[in-house]
Structure 1
Amino acid sequence: MRALWGFLCLLALPVWAEERLPGWAVYPTGKSFDDLVTDTKAAVKDNGLIVVTQAGPTKAAAARGIVIPGNLVIGAFNNDYAVRVLETSVNAMIEAPIRFYVTENEDGTATLSYKTPSFVFAPYADEGGETLKHIAQELDAKFQAVADSAVK
């Protein structure tokens, strides 16, 4: 019975993540992990951002003989946004680059997730004021466009 309960909890995890993590945008897809990674990176570039960082444990684990599902964090930003954010809040810049998260599902498909830029920059609203809020809203639109393009 415990095994069945554990299995059912694992099945519910993506739904829980979508419903319980405020500020997250979650896009399950029918794409493979590798295809979604490629399409996300292309969409970042096509929408005027730059892939600044990328990190994930999958390849390093494989080198150690451990097989885990595909998992990659892709940090995206650009210098224009960096300069503008810094003009409003030096502290808010710790959040850049803002990250996309590509995860492989048990069925071989992949999910694209990210924290919305407005959510990420919200703790700095008092310091950054309306200008930072506006920048975050611009980035919300950019990140939505990246997601829309990557998951189609």
Structure 2
Amino acid sequence: MNADLIDPQAVLRLRALCKLDHARLARLCGLTEAQVRELEEGGHSQFASPDLKVQAALKVATTLSGTQANGMPVVNVFRSRAAADGLGVQLPAFKMEDMLPSAQPKFPDSPEFFKLLLIFVVVVFLFVAVAMPLLYTLPSPPPKLS
């Protein structure tokens, strides 16, 4: 096998569509970050043989896109005539500006926060509406005789 079978742009697009950085993809696939970068940029220095590089590309593709019934990845990351014939799943083109992280609010609202807030409101209601009137309507104890 030849390492030129790998399409670096397809690997890059697949990683970008999954919104993963190099380090997280490397952890998911059991590779080093340098190996993931080499899959996207080309080169031969991070892998012991071209066959291992092809296996790594196959592992990345199956991890991110899943497998078909024949065991091959859903998204093709290899250069082939099948992609030109329309037989493989084509990834949409993307711009590098889309890969920049969007500005997220510092404290996003979460369902857990609202659950805790509801519990707090119920406890305060029970204390004020139920416990306090009971405490003030109980008869006072008789005075102690000394």
Larger % of strand: which?
1
Give the greater-gyration-radius structure (CA). Answer: 2
The answer to whether TM tops 0.5 is: no
TM-score, normalisation: structure 2? 0.25
Higher RCO structure, 1 or 2 (CA under 8 Å, sep 6+):
1
